[in-house]
């Protein structure tokens, strides 16, 4: 296990808002005093270490007939901002979503990754890692094989990595009985000099309605060593009345783990019983943003759901961790009203949320 040496970067700054900011989003309760770890003078925080209101955000949205190209074009729309945000980083991690390794519809398509690499390679000459931490017992490389990722190493000179074999650190989440539970978090997600790109799939989810770029990172970070899967510790009780634990645990983990850039593969999305058993939606969309919350908020709305009813999205927005106000989100590319859908929700959420089937 690596040591816990701290470095100040944007993900360290995320620790600064503490737990009190989530109060209104989780029923008006106060969870404790704020912890200030933010860099002095950072534009992300006020003097007291709490996040200030997020500023306007840009989300690039492209609809088209070629998955690889629309991902590339979504990134090109915000090219200058992305390159400035990468700065002098020496390594980039692209984290796809392989929740399982045997169903392409549930996973980020390799052509979406190619679109990201097409964008990066002319500008970035250092190491690019593609890393995932699947829940499947067959292992992440089974997904790389089944989904056509293996040729990327030669074609783009990238490194494929099973993050479940990487060092880890203990953190805490709330588990059964609302007790603090130690959880193993893959250290890679907390490397201060690593630029993290969340290459998510547009899908519905059985507990939190939608799973997009933020959840891809936050639920990818817990370790599955193929003997014990710690990801399940974030949502131990399969009971809707207790699902606030998963929303809260994601909010809690996001104080230290957060993507720098979000990309969503929505070319063929998933509705219904996601994240693995749903059915396809021929949406033909790609999104990209340096504000993953703004992007996930917009994507949730485009799927036909109200993001203000999804607790972790609402909590992130109220804590100032990104933009959740549509009036302050600038959509670049295809107009949003040309990309509106009505996804079916997971069957177990229809009654609690009052969704139509």
Q: What is the mean pLDDT of each run of 10 residues along the chain (357 residues)?
A: 38 40 42 31 48 86 98 98 96 97 98 98 96 97 98 98 98 90 98 96 96 98 97 75 80 95 98 98 98 98 97 95 96 98 96 85
- Give me the torsion for CA of 178, 182, 186, 190, rounded to 10°: 80
What are the backbone angles phi and psi of residue 223, rounded to the nearest 5°? -80, 140
285 Cβ partners below 8 Å, 6+ apart?
Answer: 61, 62, 63, 70, 202, 264, 266, 267, 269, 302, 334, 339
Q: Given this model, what pLDDT does residue 226 score?
A: 97
Residue-by-residue DSSP string for 35-93: ---PPTT-TTB-TTSPBPPP--EEEEEEE-S-HHHHHHHHHHTTHHHHHHHHTT-SEEE
What are the backbone angles phi and psi of residue 25, rounded to the nearest 5°? -70, -25
- Give me the torsion for CA of 17, 19, 22, 28, rounded to 10°: -140
Q: How far apart are CA 102 and CA 63, in angstroms?
A: 27
Angle between helices 110-120 and 67-76 (to 10 degrees): 40
175 Cβ partners below 8 Å, 6+ apart?
Answer: 181, 233, 236, 245
Q: How far apart are CA 122 and CA 45, in angstroms?
A: 34
Instruction: Determine the Cα angle at 88 with ends 122 and 37, to 5°.
Output: 140
Locate all alpha helices (DSSP H) within the chain, ordered by sequence: 10-13, 67-76, 79-86, 110-120, 140-146, 152-156, 213-218, 244-253, 292-302, 311-318, 347-353
Q: Are strands 180-186 and 168-174 parallel, antiparallel or unpaired?
A: antiparallel
- Give me the torsion for CA of 185, 186, 190, 191, rounded to 10°: 160
Q: Are strands 57-63 and 285-289 parallel, antiparallel or unpaired?
A: antiparallel
185 Cβ partners below 8 Å, 6+ apart?
Answer: 168, 169, 170, 171, 221, 222, 223, 253, 257
76 Cβ partners below 8 Å, 6+ apart?
Answer: 119
Q: Given this model, what pLDDT does residue 178 score?
A: 82
First CA to last CA distance, the chain: 47
Fold annotation for 57-353: Rossmann fold (3.40.50)
Closest CA to 54 of 69, 64, 39, 44: 44
Q: Given this model, what pLDDT does residue 356 score?
A: 81
Q: Given this model, what pLDDT does residue 238 score?
A: 53
SS3 94: strand
Instruction: Determine the Cα angle at 285 with ends 74 and 209, to 5°.
Output: 115
Q: Are strands 261-271 and 194-205 parallel, antiparallel or unpaired?
A: parallel
Closest CA to 263 of 35, 51, 64, 78: 78
């Amino acid at each position: 296990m690596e040591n816990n040496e701290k470095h100040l970067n944007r993900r360290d700054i995320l620790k600064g808002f503490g737990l009190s900011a989530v109060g209104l989003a989780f029923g008006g309760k106060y969870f404790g005093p704020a912890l200030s770890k933010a860099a002095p003078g950072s534009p992300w925080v006020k003097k007291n270490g709490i996040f200030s209101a997020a500023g306007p955000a840009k989300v690039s949205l492209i609809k088209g007939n070629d998955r690889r190209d629309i991902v590339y074009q979504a990134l090109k729309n915000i090219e200058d901002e992305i390159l400035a945000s990468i700065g002098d980083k020496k390594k980039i991690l692209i984290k796809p979503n392989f929740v399982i390794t045997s169903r392409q519809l549930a996973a980020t398509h390799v052509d979406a990754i190619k679109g990201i690499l097409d964008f990066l390679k002319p500008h970035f000459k250092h190491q690019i890692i593609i890393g995932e931490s699947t829940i499947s017992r067959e292992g992440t490389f089974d997904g790389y094989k089944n989904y056509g990722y293996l040729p990327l190493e030669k074609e783009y000179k990238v490194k494929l990595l099973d993050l479940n074999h990487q060092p880890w650190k203990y953190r805490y989440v709330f588990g059964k009985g609302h007790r603090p539970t130690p959880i193993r978090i893959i250290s890679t997600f907390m490397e201060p000099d690593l630029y993290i790109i969340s290459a998510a799939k547009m899908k519905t989810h059985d507990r939190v309605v939608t799973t997009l770029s933020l959840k891809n990172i936050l639920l990818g970070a817990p370790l599955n060593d193929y003997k014990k899967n710690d990801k399940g510790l974030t949502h131990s009780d399969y009971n809707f009345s207790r699902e606030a634990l998963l929303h809260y645990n994601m909010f809690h983990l996001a104080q230290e783990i957060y993507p720098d850039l979000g990309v969503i593969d929505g070319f063929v999305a998933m509705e219904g019983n996601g994240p693995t058993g749903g059915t396809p939606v021929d949406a033909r969309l790609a999104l990209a943003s340096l504000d993953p919350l703004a992007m996930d908020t917009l994507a949730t709305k485009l799927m036909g759901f109200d993001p203000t009813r999804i607790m972790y999205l609402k909590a992130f927005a109220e804590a100032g961790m990104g933009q959740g106000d549509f009036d302050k989100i600038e959509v670049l590319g295809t107009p949003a009203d040309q990309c509106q859908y009505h996804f079916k929700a997971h069957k177990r959420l229809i009654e609690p949320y009052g969704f139509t089937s």
